[in-house]
Amino acid sequence: MKSLVGAFITDARCELMLSMPVIGVKWSESGRSVELGQGRRLEAHAVVVATPASVWKTIRFSTTLPN
Better-scored residue on pLDDT, 63 or 55: 55
The answer to whether residue 57 sits within a structural domain is: yes
Q: What is the pTM of this model?
A: 0.69
If residue 10 lies in a helix (H) or strand (E), which one and from where to where? Answer: helix 2-12
The whole domain housing 64 covers 19-67
pLDDT band (50, 70, 90) for residue 48:
confident
State the pLDDT at residue 19. Answer: 84
Q: What is the pLDDT of residues 11-38, one digit of tens each?
A: 888 888 888 889 999 988 888 999 998 8
Domain count, the chain: 1
Whether residue 34 is contained in a domain is answered as: yes
In a domain, 60, yes or no: yes
Assess if residue 5 is contained within a domain: no
For residue 3, tell me if it sits in a domain: no
Among 29-33, 43-47, 63-67, where is mean pLDDT lowest? Answer: 63-67
DSSP 10-61: HHHT-----S--EEEEEEETTEEEEEETTS-EEEES-------GGGGGGSEE
Whole-angstrom CA distances from 49 to 4, 54, 59, 63 are 17, 13, 10, 15
